[in-house]
């Protein structure tokens, strides 16, 4: 087991950032920041406990401007005052050689006026999200606001550089603002920012251009730029698989250093085309054709899952929920201690695993079937619960 292909080092070319292995801890929010988005010691401890194993850790998402906050307990990278705190997270991740990437975003219409303290959400068009049912109608962004928001992503990237991170990942998945501009469901504009496929790509491509220019001008060390996307939407109209594959093709001509899929299972096939049995992961591997590294992700729990992702053609394998249960997953796989890997935890384990209290509460109440809680006196029993939406914890497909 010591020679697993995902344990081999990986280098981002041409940046030259070297990872100790090809395992990435996928972005999962801890819901543990203060009300203003500043970091807590719980968050720092959580990342420190998981450092030294995966080659790269991508943090939970941070909002680039106050109007882009998506939920309570979320990290902020919207002000220069956040740099000092964020640097503690970067150092905690890097302490044993792991590279630190911070994911950044704007929630767009996937927030509400309560979270924004009385401010109406904004988006590409004034169309409420289909889910949840009580979603608020956003205000349509003006051209001037869009141009300034592109700069907000650049300013956030400069803060990430100053905080000592090794990269940023643009969160263009899970129906947040970058995806909202790309989707026909949320973008009904008729100006330069919407309409046909090329115009709906304009906002994310401009954000990539801005962030890349900030990196080029300010990073004095290898600093990578990633882009995360969701392959499909269920809404009509909405993003279909052929749209995302064409978008991935377009991304090969941009300065992004990797593309990261957001899926509940690496085995997943199309949700909109049930007769198509080819895994989505395989489709993206074929389209990218080694022109950009791909992070494959989704229900990767055991070494054989990680190996299957790499064998399918992904350059890197993202692991999320399993790193909640087992912070030392990589070390145990590398040393052959497979029988000691945790695949189930009880509520009593969570303090030892440095899981922040806010995250514990959410997991206990809403996500027990995914973290496989067991109870004292009922050994092996797994709770079932309805999955509430949570960034980074997609329902298994």
Q: In whole angstroms, give the CA distance from residue 316 to residue 329.
A: 16
| Burial status of residue 109 (CB atoms within 10 A of its CB: 0-12, 13-18, 19 or more) | buried
Does a cis peptide bond (omega within 30 degrees of 0) precede residue 188?
no
Decide if 241 contacts 283 (C-beta within 8 A).
yes
∠ Cα 82 86 88 (to 5°): 130
Q: Are 388 and 256 in contact (CB under 8 A)?
A: no
Distance, CA of 41 to chain centre: 22
Residue 148 CB partners (closer than 8 Å, separation 6+): none
Residue tagged active-site, from 46, 47, 63, 176: 176
CA distance 226 to 292: 10
CA distances from 282 to 159, 261, 262, 299, 364 (A): 35, 12, 14, 16, 34
With contact defined as beta carbons under 8 Å apart, do 98 and 48 qualify?
no
**Can you tell me whether residue 252 is helix, strand or coil?**
coil
Q: Are 331 and 318 in contact (CB under 8 A)?
A: no
Helices (H), the chain: 41-50, 83-94, 143-163, 177-182, 197-218, 241-251, 280-288, 303-311, 321-325, 329-334, 357-366, 368-371
User: Cα separation of 206 and 193, whole Å?
Assistant: 10
Q: CA-CA distance, 76 to 64, in Å (whole number)?
A: 7
Eight-class DSSP state of 78: S
Q: Is 176 a catalytic residue?
A: yes
Return left, alpha or beta for 240; rule: phi > 0 is left, psi -120 to 50 is alpha, else beta.
beta
Q: Where are the alpha helices (DSSP H) in 252-320?
A: 280-288, 303-311
Give me the active site residues, please: 176
């Amino acid at each position: 087991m010591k020679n697993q292909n995902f344990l081999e080092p990986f280098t981002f070319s041409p940046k030259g950032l070297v990872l100790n292995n090809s395992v990435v801890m996928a972005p999962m929010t801890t819901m543990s920041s203060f009300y203003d988005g500043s970091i807590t010691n719980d968050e720092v401890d959580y990342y420190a406990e998981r450092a030294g194993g995966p080659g790269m850790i991508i943090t939970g998402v941070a909002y680039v401007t106050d109007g882009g906050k998506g939920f309570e307990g979320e990290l902020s990278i919207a002000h220069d005052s956040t740099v000092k705190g964020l640097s503690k997270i970067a150092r905690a991740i890097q302490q044993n050689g792991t590279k630190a990437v911070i994911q950044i975003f704007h929630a767009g219409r996937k927030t509400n006026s309560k979270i924004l303290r009385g401010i109406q959400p904004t988006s590409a068009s004034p169309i409420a999200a289909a889910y949840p049912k009580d979603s608020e109608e956003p205000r349509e962004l003006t051209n001037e606001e869009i141009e300034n928001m592109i700069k907000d992503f650049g300013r956030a990237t400069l803060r990430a550089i100053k905080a000592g991170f090794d990269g940023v990942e643009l969160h263009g998945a899970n129906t947040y603002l970058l995806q909202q501009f790309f989707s026909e469901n949320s973008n009904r504009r008729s100006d330069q920012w919407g309409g046909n496929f090329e115009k709906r790509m304009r906002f994310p491509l401009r954000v990539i251009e801005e962030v890349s220019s900030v990196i080029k001008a300010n990073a004095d060390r290898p600093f990578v730029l990633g882009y995360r996307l969701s392959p499909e939407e269920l809404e009509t109209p909405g993003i279909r698989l052929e749209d995302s594959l064409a978008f991935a093709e377009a991304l090969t001509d941009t300065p992004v250093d990797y593309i990261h899929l957001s899926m509940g299972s690496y085995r997943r096939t199309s949700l909109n085309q049930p007769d198509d049995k080819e895994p989505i992961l395989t489709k993206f591997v074929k389209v990218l054709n080694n022109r950009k590294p791909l992070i494959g992700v989704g229900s990767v729990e055991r070494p054989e899952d990680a190996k299957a992702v790499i064998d399918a053609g992904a350059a890197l394998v993202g692991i999320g929920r399993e790193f909640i249960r087992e912070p030392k997953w990589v070390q145990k796989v590398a040393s052959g201690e497979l029988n000691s890997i945790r695949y189930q935890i009880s509520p009593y384990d969570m303090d030892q695993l440095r899981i922040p209290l806010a995250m514990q509460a959410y997991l206990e109440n809403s996500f027990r079937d995914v973290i496989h809680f067991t109870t004292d006196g009922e050994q092996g029993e797994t709770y079932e619960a309805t999955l509430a939406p949570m960034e980074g914890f997609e329902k298994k497909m």
